[in-house]
Amino acid sequence: MYELIQAAGDSYYIESPAKVGLIRTGEDEVCLIDSGSDKDAGRKIRQILDAHGWKLRAIYNTHSNADHIGGNSYLQKQTGCRIFAPGIECCFTRHTVLEPSFLYGGYPSSDLRHKFLMAAESNAELLSGDALPDGMEVIPLPGHFFDMVGFRTSDDAVYLADCLSSRETLEKYGVTFIYDAGAYLKTLEMVKNMEGRIFIPAHADVSEDISELAEYNIRKVHESAEKIACICTDPLSSDDVIRRVFKEYGLAVSMQQYVLVGSTVRSYLSWLKDSGELETIADDGMILWKRT
């Protein structure tokens, strides 16, 4: 863990729970794509930088989930590097209470205000093309989170953030976190047909061909959507649908899992309603979801 691996030319990644990209931009200068899950991850990354005599100039965050920005604050304080994040992700990176608040739908209790959902705040700037090193480009990857992006380097290495889950993760959990199912499917279709020298997803194996894994993720999204639609054969509240999803997939309930799965289920319900497959019924002070 935390091994530096060369992907192609000056494009590297650090093997970790959420892979961190590292690109050499000069003889002794580098930038990072994401920063790991917490201060400890930041320390381990700093040790790699120091061992090679590299100066960290910038961190480019793909999105604002805590496991991708957790090392930001430590590395920024230690190196003075700039941090860039896309769109609304920049606000979430600067004000990290927004992630657990969004997931919960209100002010999060103390058991949601921890490093797995709420990273240390960092002074992020809005990502723009002008902020990128020469030869590096942004790839919009919406769906998993609000304005998530990936990056392509001049070595044709493609960093794909969280737009793909591994087969093992999908087989174990069945349903994985998605903010916008419709946008996510469009992203997966785009990635399935993408060309590149090497693909580096944050939570799946590095590969020279990403199409098969992308197709598997697409299939799993449709399977989850169909399962949720079937659950709604009889009118049910959101919480009842969430409870049945936990049972269907054999998931253990905790506050963290509840908000992650709950937010995902609500996103599926919205997508299914907008697609005409579900309707809502107001009944006795509740909104119920029913298959049309």
Chosen domain end from 161, 181, 212 = 161
Q: Are residues 110 and 19 part of one domain?
A: yes
User: DSSP 3-state assignment of 207?
Assistant: strand
pLDDT in tens, 44-56: 999 999 999 999 9
Instruction: Say if pTM beats, i.e. exceeds, 0.95.
Output: yes
Number of H helices, E strands in the chain: 10, 14
Residue 185 lies in a domain: no
User: Which residue, chain included where needed, has tokens 């705040």?
Assistant: 121
**Segment (H or E) for 52:** helix 39-52
Q: Would residue 223 count as lying in a domain?
A: no
Look up the CATH number of the domain holding residue 85.
Answer: 3.60.15.10
Considering the domain boundaries, does residue 188 fall inside one? no
DSSP annotation of 148 reads -
Q: Is residue 34 part of a domain?
A: yes
* 18 within some domain: yes
Q: Residue 96 has what pLDDT?
A: 98
Overall domain count for the chain = 2
Cβ proximity of 244 and 253 under 8 Å? no
Residue 136 contacts residue 128 (beta carbons within 8 Å): no
Out of 99, 132, 161, pick the residue that ends a domain: 161
Each residue's pLDDT tens digit, 141-179: 999 999 999 999 999 999 999 999 999 999 999 999 999
Domain membership of residue 145 as a residue range? 3-161
139/251 same-domain check: no
Please, which residues have CB within 8 angstroms of residue 31's CB and are 6 or more apart in sequence? 22, 23, 25, 56, 57, 58, 59, 60, 133
Confidence of residue 98 (pLDDT cuts 50, 70, 90): very high
Shared domain for 21 and 154, answered yes or no, is yes
Cα separations in angstroms, 212 against 103, 161, 193, 207:
30, 17, 10, 10
